[in-house]
Chain A
Amino acid sequence: MTLPDGNPAATPLLELDSATAFYGDLQALFGVKLRIQAGEIVTLIGSNGAGKTTTLRVISGVKRAESGTVRFAGEDVSRVPAHEMVARGVSHVPEGRQVFPFLTVRENLSLGAYTPRARPHLKQSMEEQLTLFPRLAERMNQLAGTLSGGEQQMVAIARGLMAQPKLLLLDEPSLGLAPKVVDEVFEKIQEVQRRGITMLIVEQNVVAGLSIADRGYVVQNGAVLLEDTAKNLLTNEMVRAAYLGL
């Protein structure tokens, strides 16, 4: 699981090949290529506007790739819309958490299990999430907007897990969180991996994001500049200079 290119022998859970994407006339992705093996945590790092969030959006179907392919579990899903991607096993936890502030924690979590596949398991699934995030159990009837930033991030992750995904996409899980809370959230992410869920994480907190990852990709100007094991990226001179400011 720590081979630089994943394990090429096995079919990757996710594969992006030459994916391009536009916002109006503005091209955001210029042929992104990446692959994720089942069970891995892969972290994307890169400057603002490099195309990391767009990459996640293309994978989850929130945004359609203009050209290139997205393959998930061996199937071409390039034209599959977002709601169907959730049903197929891809949950997207967006940047800035985006919990429903005027719904309770319970309602937020329930909404995560709206798909026909996840709905029958709602009760058991909710119990699983509360085992993972015991703090949410005390907050079930509280409006999500009244929670602290760290708790809202936990709601957002738990809501994504309620759909019983194979692949969880996390966009900046550490954004705006206190250092201590960042540690807590990343410990939870590792627990999610131990449950067998594959994750692709976009993270500006490069150290935290790579510390828990198996592999990482450096994205620049809408394309992959570099890929390697997370460990190698953390000691890579270019990464340290460009993204850690060291």
Chain B
Amino acid sequence: MTAVLELRNIAKRFGGLRAVKSVSFEMNAGEILFIIGPNGAGKTTVFNLISGFLHPDEGSILFNGKDISRLAPHHNARLGIGRTFQIVKPLKNLTVLQNVMLGAFMHTGRLQQAEAEAGRILDFLQMSHWKDLPAHGLPLAALKRLEIARALATKPKLVLLDEVVSGLTPGEALALAGLVKRLPEWGVSVVGGVEHVMQVVMKIADRIVVLDYGAKIAEGKPAEVVSLPVVIEAYLGAKYKELPK
């Protein structure tokens, strides 16, 4: 497998808080990798470091072999790194379609082309019925999906999804997970996710990295990782296995 993204001993401090402590892992072509861990474990910080919203204090981040540790977000976006935000960030007074078109403007200056691409993406994400509504009135779950649509419009190779299924019923979450699984149809070769909804993680992840207090405490295939005592203790809790039969 080829590593599309490589994190080598990255560390990030906020004042006295060591949010990320020497974390290393890879994301490989064709892979869906989820990062799980308690609230405050550093998951979103890792996404911010990869996408350039933050720069690591130590270590390096390689994207297709090129060091991107110091690049700004717009530069990373041009290289093919797309992301969504856990705290959704739509342009509230634009319509859903216009929000997605903004993503497409990264690679085209033509209005019609941007509109056509945005329309196709909204169809794929099953949100065409919302396309002419302003973003500000949408329910949270729709805004999360809009985040994905806007990221896809930039034609990313790597896409980072930050809690995109939170606030959905398990049934809806699994349906959206099915669409995430199909992102390769849009040229996306690697998907990185942060998620607490374990039903979704278990269903679509090829590999899981577990963070706790800014450090990697486990990494591996989903079934292996969730049975590790260290993961149950730090994150899943003793009740994890109790699903109604």
Contact = CB atoms under 8 A, between A and B. Distances in A.
A183 B237 contact: yes
Interface stretch (B57-65, B100-108, B161-169, B179-187): B161-169
Contacts of B240: 179
B47 interface: no
Contact of B169 (A53, A183, A234, A243): A243
B142 interface: yes
Given A45-B169, A175-B166, A177-B196, A245 B39 contact: no
A179 B169 contact: no
Contacts of B237: 179-184
Contacts of A49: 139, 141-142
A47 B37 contact: no
Contacts of A47: 169, 171-172
B140 interface: yes
Contacts of A175: 166-167
Contacts of B168: 48, 204
B201 to A, nearest CB: 10
Interface in A30-54: 45-49, 53
A163 B236 CA distance: 33
Contacts of B239: 179, 183
Contacts of B169: 45-48, 204, 206, 242-243
Given A47-B169, A48-B139, A176 B39 contact: yes
A176 B166 contact: yes
A178 B163 contact: no
A178 B235 contact: yes
Interface string B208-245: 00000000000000000000000000111101100110
A244 to B, nearest CB: 5
Interface residues of A, number: 35
A242 to B, nearest CB: 5
B140 A148 contact: no
A96 interface: yes
B113 interface: no
Given A178-B38, A179-B196, A183-B237, A207 B243 contact: yes
A95 interface: yes
Interface in B140-182: 140-142, 163, 166-175
Given A149-B40, A178-B38, A180-B237, A245 B167 contact: no
List the 4 closest A-B pairs by CB distance, nearest first: A180-B237, A149-B39, A245-B174, A48-B141
7 contacts: A148-B40, A176-B163, A181-B237, A207-B170, A235-B244, A245-B171, A245-B175
Interface of B: 37-40, 86, 137, 139-142, 163, 166-175, 196, 198-199, 234-237, 239-240, 243-244
Given A49-B139, A148-B40, A178-B37, 4 more contacts: A23-B137, A149-B39, A175-B166, A245-B175
